[in-house]
Each structure stands twice: as structure tokens, then as C-alpha cells.
Amino acid sequence: MTEDVSPAAAQPDKKPAKNEDNFFVFITKLVLIVVIFRSFIFSPFNIPSESMLPTLANGDYLLAAKWPYGFTSDSLPFGAPLIPGRILGSAPERGDIAIFKHPVDGTDYIKRVIGIPGDTIAMEGGQIILNGEPIPKEPMANFEIAPSPNTVCHVMSEKVVQEDGSTVCNYTRFRETLPSGETYEVLDFGPQFQDNFAPIIVPEGEMFVMGDNRDNSQDSRFPAEPQGGVGLVPQDLLLARATFIMWSTDGSAEWLLPWTWFTALRTERLGNGL
């Protein structure tokens, strides 16, 4: 006589997963999602200098899109050598605010793309000459920014005392417009030695970049050297394209005083598109 055994009874009891195992799986998935997001979609960057004023200020935190220029090993955490060369790459456009590796020391730099392959770039009296045509440079109202731990008035700027007794750094401002219609603001301290250079033809696979703070930027007008100019930048060094400012602080916040995180916030800069 055989004994009838149901399928349910035949299955051994399954032990419930341990809380430790569930937590480990959760953390692993979270880390993987963050790595993928930062490597291939968006990544945060902070601005440590004033070379891109008035567009970007020291203390701005921005999100940069990783996909517009393709991906290299530099796109991955710690530069993991897992991507051969550049994949899904696209060339930058004039006017892009590009983040790239310095050609010599490998640090992250951020500048505006002015010249692309085949362009002839020159400068006369502080005005860019692109392919033989001057880029329009129109005067604007002066740019003002309050001094703070993150902002020091440049020696070439003017300190202005306002009606409430506060002081601001005052800069001469212009608006440039590229042939594509892309327009942006620049600062200019007046005649400087870097305001003039002979025509340069941008080679294939490279780009000519400049800071919006024209007289306070080490860019393609200067030879590439550590912690200095970048010369003509190979496009293979591109990392990301700046998109918008997600946070901005004047540098006066203290970690142990949470309310200062908000008093230091420069709300007028939040959400500014780039």
C-alpha cells in the first residue's frame, strides 16, 4: 500500500531570508544604481574658482550630463580602466560649458567651448574673431556679487558700498553672441596682454575653450601646463556638459550649525540653467 504525498508536503521548509542578507542586497543595489547614474547619466560637480563668473561662481554645485560627449574610463569611479577609448562619443558645440580633464595634470576643468575643429580663432582688443568675423560683444549693466568666504573681490574689480551699508564686488559685464545664436555673459577688466593673439586653427579632434571671466581664466589662450593653461584641448578628455546649478553657497556655513546651511545659501543662483 502506497502513501499519497501531496507536492506541498514533499517540499522542504524554506528558511526565511535573514535581515542581514536583505540589507546587504539593498545596499548593493543602491550602490550599483548610484554608480550607473553618476557614470552614465548625471554627475555632480562643484566650482572651486571664479574663472567662469558671472555664469558660475565659486561655491556653485551643478549637475552635469555625462552622455552628450560619450564615455571613457574617466567616466567611471576612480577612472577604472573598463572602457576602451571613447564610446558613443559626440563632438561638443560652440557655447557648451564643458567639463574635461586637464591635458597635463588630469584635474577637472570647466570652460566654455568657443572653437571646434576647423574653426579659426583670434582675439583683438578683447573681442573674439571667429572664422574672420568678430563675435558681437555688447555692454550690459555691471555684474555685482557680495564678498564672502567663497568670493573675494578681484584687485581689478570695484568695491561698491550699497545703501544698506553692505559692499559688493562690481565687474564690467558684456554679452557675447555666437553665430548659432547662443548667447552668454562675460566679464572684462579692460586691456590685458591675453586680449590679443594671432589666428589659431583648431585641429581635428580638439577644441578651443575660454573662461567667461576673461581676464581671470587660464584657458586655451595659454600653453598647457600643470595647474595653469590648457592649450588646445583634445576632445577625448571631455567628461560632461554642465546643465544647471542645483546648490550654491557663499562658504559661510558650518557643519555643526545646521541653520547656517541655509543662511549661506545663494537662492538667486539655484536652478539656473547653463
Which H or E run includes 263? helix 260-263
**Residue 151 carries which DSSP code?**
B
* Closest C-alpha among 94, 81, 216 to residue 154: 216
Euclidean distance between CA atoms 99 and 239, whole angstroms:
5
**Residue 16 carries which DSSP code?**
P
> How many residues make up the chain in this entry?
274
Euclidean distance between CA atoms 94 and 233, whole angstroms:
14
Strand order in the sheet with 143-145: 143-145, 167-171, 158-161
All three cell numbers of 216, joined, read 581671470
The residues assigned a catalytic role are 51, 111
